[in-house]
Chains A and B, each alone.
Chain A
């Protein structure tokens, strides 16, 4: 089996190598990938949305449909993992036979140190979410750091204590809420007469000169959308860790 796999991959590698001449050279500024739409985004993102970070501007505004369904995928994964792995007291598998014995927690130093670190992690994560317009960052990165802070609490304390702070009910509600915020912003744009996720239709909410109001409406709606993404990603990261490490029982983790 391994020899067969090796031969197959060598054949596939040779096939891929033979078409390398058709691909553009590395670092070519005139290649087709760098010419048409990317140049438009780089030139017009600033005057249409006033956001210097072009990556966040395109993710949250020009291609917000992709981002919404990616948030949807993360939400569906949370539900899927709950459906597959979650076990309660009515399960037929014997609880005691298959789990390794749990070492007594002698982690007093670890517990104190993480209790110092976690608030700073969360503050940094909120900064990353809010500053996504001007520096590298945005909704995903901040959401993952927030999730990682709760995972840190669960790893060094007990899973049950972290679950006491963020119960199952809450992380299901939060993941759904994030997706709802995203789609809700789009629906509100429809109520104001624009297309779905067309943020410039929210200009009457800000008042003032209609042209700059449209631009600033796009600026602020992007932040709302990123907050929605951060909620979903944070609860998804902790949910996946909680189910994976406790094998579905949700009583003790690593």
Chain B
């Protein structure tokens, strides 16, 4: 059990965060809480990828100089792949973070527009007011 926990505890954290974000998106009534749940979900996915790229005993993926060398050519840098953390997962997640914040801006804009139209930010009240005004529900 302890061995399983030690090799898999990052995935456990990711699953807990994923389920927290998912529960917030489905079960919460307020629209802004749903947006917070979406951000938690996105961050958990990014956590998953970064933890897959981490290697035990490795350093950041900026190439290190060979001891004593100060040149800029390729021969004065250590290029052993086992020494550095995996850069590929980090690159994909950089894009994901920026797209995530842009999507968050869009989501909050829609929340504000809904508030302007219906005067409330709670999902059940919005559904009631939509039913009253005769808008069909899909």
Contacts and interface: CB of A to CB of B under 8 A. Distances in A.
Question: Within 8 Å by CB, do A and B touch in the complex?
Answer: yes
Interface of A: 1-2, 4-6, 8-10, 12-13, 16-17, 20, 23-29, 31, 33-34, 37-39, 41-43, 45-47, 50, 52-55, 58-59, 63, 66-67, 70, 73-74, 77, 80-81, 84-85, 93, 98, 134-136, 140, 233, 236, 240, 243-244, 247-248
Contacts of A39: 81
B8 A80 contact: no
Interface residues of B, number: 54
B62 A136 contact: yes
A244 B27 contact: no
Given A26-B51, A50-B74, 5 more contacts: A5-B23, A6-B27, A9-B22, A46-B77, A244-B109
Contacts of A12: 19, 22
Given A12-B19, A13-B19, A34 B98 contact: no
B88 interface: yes
A33 to B, nearest CB: 5
A233 B108 contact: no
Contacts, number: 159
B87 A54 contact: yes
A38 B87 contact: yes
Given A26-B8, A54-B62, A9 B79 contact: no
Contacts of A73: 99, 102
Given A8-B26, A243-B109, A31 B52 contact: yes
A29 B82 contact: yes
Contact of B116 (A5, A24, A50, A98): A98
Interface of B: 7-12, 15-16, 18-19, 22-23, 26-27, 51-58, 60-63, 72-74, 77, 79, 81-82, 84, 86-91, 94-95, 98-99, 102-103, 105-106, 108-110, 112-113, 116
A84 B113 contact: yes
A89 to B, nearest CB: 16
A34 B88 CA distance: 8
5 contacts: A2-B27, A27-B54, A38-B88, A42-B87, A70-B99
B102 A74 contact: yes
A119 B43 CA distance: 31
A70 B9 CA distance: 32
A28 B95 CA distance: 25
A33 B88 contact: yes
Contacts of A46: 63, 74, 77, 79
A34 B55 contact: yes
A216 B53 CA distance: 29
Contacts of A243: 109
